Homo-oligomer: A and B are copies of this chain.
Amino acid sequence: MDDCLKILKDHKFKITPKRKAVIELFLTSRKCLKPYDVYKAVRKRLDSLGLPTIYRILDEFCRIGIIKRLQSDDGQLVYAFCSSQKKHSHYFVCLNCNKVQEVSVCNINGISRYIEKNLGAKVESHQLQLEGICSECK
C-alpha cells in the first residue's frame, strides 16, 4: 500500500480516500476488475462515490503504473494490480476466479530475437497473458 501511495505522491497526485480505497481493493482482491466492479466494492465503504471518479482513478493508476489494463474477452475494460513495468509483463489469469498472478520468468527474448531477425522489426514491448485454472480453483 505504501508503495502505491509513494507512486501517487511522486506523480503529484493527492492521497484521497477514494484513491486509497481503490488501491486497497486491488491489493486485497488481486483480481481482474471491471470499472463497475470497483465502483460497487468501493461504494460499500464510502458515503458517496461517482462512477466517473472510478473511471478517472483507474485511468490515472494505469498511467502511473499502479494497475494495468488487461485483455478481456468481451472488450470491456479490465484492470488488475500489477507491479511490473509497462514494457514487459506476463500474467496468469484464472479462468474461474479471475485472480491475476504475475509471472516473473521471461524467455520472450528468444521470440523477440526471432522477430527482429525474421520480420526485420523492432520489438518495443510485449504482453503475455496466460489463462487457466489457479491452484485454489483446481
Contact = CB atoms under 8 A, between A and B. Distances in A.
A124 B128 contact: no
A124 B134 contact: no
Contacts of A124: 95, 131-133
Given A128-B128, A133-B124, A138-B120, A105 B114 contact: yes
Contacts of A127: 71, 128-129, 131
A64 interface: no
Interface of A: 69, 71, 73, 75-77, 90, 92, 94-95, 101, 103, 105-108, 110-112, 114-115, 119-135, 138
Contacts of A110: 105, 107
A29 B90 CA distance: 29
Contact of A101 (B105, B106, B107, B119): B119
